[in-house]
Amino acid sequence: MLRVKSLVYLHTRLKSQRWAFKGKKTHTQRALESFDDFYGSVFGIRWKNIRAALLTEHKYIAVVNNFGDPDKTCNGMELSALNIKSLTKLVGDRLGHNNKLSKNGASNTLDENLLKILSRQEEREKYSLYPMGSQTEMPDQLQFKTESCVELQSSSESENNPKYIESLEDAFERDAQLANSRLIDPQYGTGGLYEFIPANKIKGMEDWIPESDHYKYYSTYTDFPLKFELETEFCFPENLKLYTYEVGNCSEFSAPKKCVTGVLSHYLLDGASVLPPLFLDIKEGERVLDACAAPGGKSLIMLQTLFPDVLICNDIQESRLNRIRKVMQEYIFDYKEKWENKRIVLNQCDAKYMDNYESFDKILVDVPCTTDRHSLTVNDNNIFKSTRIKERLRIPELQADILLNCLRLLKPGGSLIYSTCSLSPVQNDGVVHMALQKAFNEHGITTTVKDLSYIIRLFEDIFRFEYPKVLKYGQMVLPYLPANYGPMYFCKLTKNM
Domains, the chain, in order of start with CATH, read: 2-27+122-208 (no CATH), 56-106+220-495 (3.40.50.150)
Q: Is the pLDDT of residue 145 over 80?
A: no
**How many Cα atoms sit within 13 Å of 481 on the Cβ side?**
8
| Dihedral, 128, 132, 136, 138 alpha carbons, nearest 10 | 70
| Residue 90 reports pLDDT greater than 50 | yes
> Can you tell me the distance from the alpha carbon of 308 to that of 314, in angstroms, rounded to the nearest whole number?
15
The predicted-structure confidence for 103-125, as pLDDT tens digits, reads as follows 444 456 677 777 777 788 777 77
> In the predicted model, is pLDDT for residue 224 greater than 50?
yes
108 Cβ neighbours under 8 A, 6+ residues apart: none
| Separation of CA 373 from chain center | 10
Least confident span in 82-91, 220-229, 344-353, 454-463: 220-229
Instruction: Indicate the average pLDDT of the chain.
Output: 83
Q: Which of 259, 292, 421, 491 is catalytic?
A: 421
313 belongs to the catalytic site: no
3-state SS record for the chain: CHHHHHHHHHHHHHHHHHHHHHHCCCHHHHHHHHHHHHHHHHHHHHHHHHHHHHCCCCCEEEEECCCCCHHHHHHHHHCCCEEHHHHHHHHHHHHCCCCCCCCCCCCHHHHHHHHHHHHHHHHHHHHHHCCCCCCCCCCCCCCCCCCCCCCCCCCHHHHHCHHHHHHHHHHHHHHHHHHCCCCCCHHHCCCCCCCCCCCCCCCCHHHCCCCHHHHCCCCCCCCCCCEEEECCCCCCCCCCCEEECCCCCCCCCCCCCECCCCCECEEEEEHHHHHHHHHCCCCCCCEEEECCCCCCHHHHHHHHCCCCCEEEEEECCHHHHHHHHHHHHHHCCCHHHHHECCCEEEEECCHHHCCCCCCEEEEEEECCCCCHHHHHHCCCCCCCCHHHHHHHHCHHHHHHHHHHHHHHHEEEEEEEEEEECCCCCHHHHHHHHHHHHHHHHHHCCCEEEEECCCHHHHHCCCCCECCHHHCCCCEEECCCHHHCCCCEEEEEEEECC
Q: So what's the pLDDT on residue 221? A: 81
Q: For residue 95, is pLDDT > 60?
A: yes
pLDDT tens, residue by residue, 279-296: 999 999 999 999 999 999
Measured CA to CA, the distance from residue 212 to residue 248 in angstroms comes to 39
Contact 58, 270 (CB under 8 A): yes
| 191 or 452, greater pLDDT | 452
In the chain, the percentage of residues whose pLDDT exceeds 90 is 65
Please determine, for residue 4, whether its predicted confidence score (pLDDT) is greater than 50: no
Output the CA angle 360-364-370, nearest 5 degrees: 145
